Amino acid sequence: MSISRAFDMIFFGGTGDLAIRKLLPALYYRFRDTPDPAGWRIIGCARTELTRDGYVDLVSENCRRFIPGEDFDEGTWQRFTHHIEYLTIDALSGEGFDELAERLRHSQDRVRVFYLSTASSLYAPICEGLSRVSAVTGLSRVVLEKPLGHDLSSSDAINEAVGRIFEEHAIFRIDHYLGKETVQNLMALRFGNSIFEPLWNRSNVEQVQITLAEQVGVEGRGDYYEHSGALRDMVQSHLLQLLCILAMEPPTSIDPDAIRDEKLKVLKVLRPFTPESVRTDIVRGQYRSGAIEGKVAPGYLEEEGIAENSRNETFVAIKARLDNWRWSGVPFYLRTGKRMQERLSEIVVNFREVPHPLLPPPASGGGNRLIIQLQPDESVKLFVMAKIPGDEMKVRPVALDLDFDEAFKTRQWDAYERLLTDVIAGNLTLFMRRDELDAAWRWIDPIHSAWEAQDTAPKTYAAGTWGPTAASALLARDGMNWREEN
């Protein structure tokens, strides 16, 4: 799908890591595959004093590192950069908004996207600045990166401020995990195939695991991470969104609000945590120095921008429960962490064992399971039991592997390609509605409150491992293991 309509894409935080590493390369791919991109205009905005040529040089130097050589075409890139402009804007002082309005004055009839790739504390000043210079039209949209605030109160304040300028249908709260092909394929697998839906319930599913593991540390973002932590940075957004898609009821249609209504229902039936259940069902960790792929990795307290004796968490494992008819009694184990053994994002649906086993169990890792991997490679695998060739009747798990590259023989879109295309088209399906965000914060806030009241330090784990041993014990109490431990 190409982007055929004319638009203005204005990136606030245009010199930042996200814009240069993800957003501009994503637009390059869409530009390359669009037959007539003449109506495109991209304006990078930041406080940095740069000329237009200086910005293009900065973008070109960095984007070449993030676009694979086989996808990079010099002629296409040069044509792409002809559509790029730059403007120095200070969101707090308001300097530069008048010039932005002047540049946009003759494009009132075009889609206008304001992408706020900045700290969420700047969302309100930016939107107020746009309103002051009358830059917001009926065809305008605003994209908000997570996290929106640090709790329900601060999130409400941001949403109220943005909502005074933009109507709800023009606010796109982005979570890039929802743009991944495998996440969308999860919906296709569930709702496009009759074999899965009858199995997708407490009678057939024993437990579910969702893991978002990173090998990197705070990567120079210590100041941000000290005010965020793994719970707010990853659980409140990515993990809960994946849980919603995995557990939601079939929507009545693919209309954006029909899908988002069902996701909201999942958030509403998440069992709230009490101070006691926080102690028993949540593991909070912080990495210490260790080794990753043979290289020494510093501990969290040794990272730049981290407070001495910080108790901020870099790892969280949660046993979550859904109190509804479909999922009652099925534990959902959520896990995320930095400086883990592998970079891995996956969903594992473990089905129940056969009621009366006739065959000897395999030596390891028995049972049917569906594994949806989001990174480093995107894939879907269904493990079934099959006989090992030979005289004896022995079985072991064998994967039925959906290879997207082989099946469709086309390059998979990056998540931001899909999401930017949807923003321009005005498609809200893969974006969070405000009531979804509110419900997520209502579930998260009591966890932080309990941690503060308990005043205990997070459990440490060595960099290059799968987290604190208590995370394994969390499942072991139920007679279960994380997938890599089987």
**Catalytic member of 169, 227, 238, 448:** 238
Amino acid identity for residue 292 in this structure = I
Average pLDDT (124-132) is: 96
* pLDDT value of position 362: 66
* pLDDT value of position 205: 95
Average pLDDT (143-160) is: 93
Pick the more confident residue, 358 or 150: 150
Whether the upstream peptide bond of residue 298 has omega within 30° of 0, thus cis, is: no
* pLDDT value of position 139: 95
Percent share of the chain, pLDDT over 70: 96
Please give the Cα distance from 167 to 144 (Å, whole number): 13
Average pLDDT (143-156) is: 92
Average pLDDT (389-403) is: 78
* pLDDT value of position 412: 76
Query: Mean pLDDT, the chain, as a whole number?
Result: 91
Please give the Cα distance from 138 to 141 (Å, whole number): 9
Average pLDDT (152-178) is: 95
Please, how many CA atoms are within 13 Å of residue 421, restricted to the half-sphere of its CB?
A: 18
Catalytic site includes residue 169: no
The per-residue pLDDT for range 187-237, each reduced to its tens digit, is: 888 888 888 888 999 999 999 999 999 999 988 788 888 888 999 999 999
Average pLDDT (34-53) is: 91
Please give the Cα distance from 312 to 306 (Å, whole number): 9
The per-residue pLDDT for range 304-322, each reduced to its tens digit, is: 889 889 999 999 999 999 9
Residue in the block written with tokens 């509403």 = 268
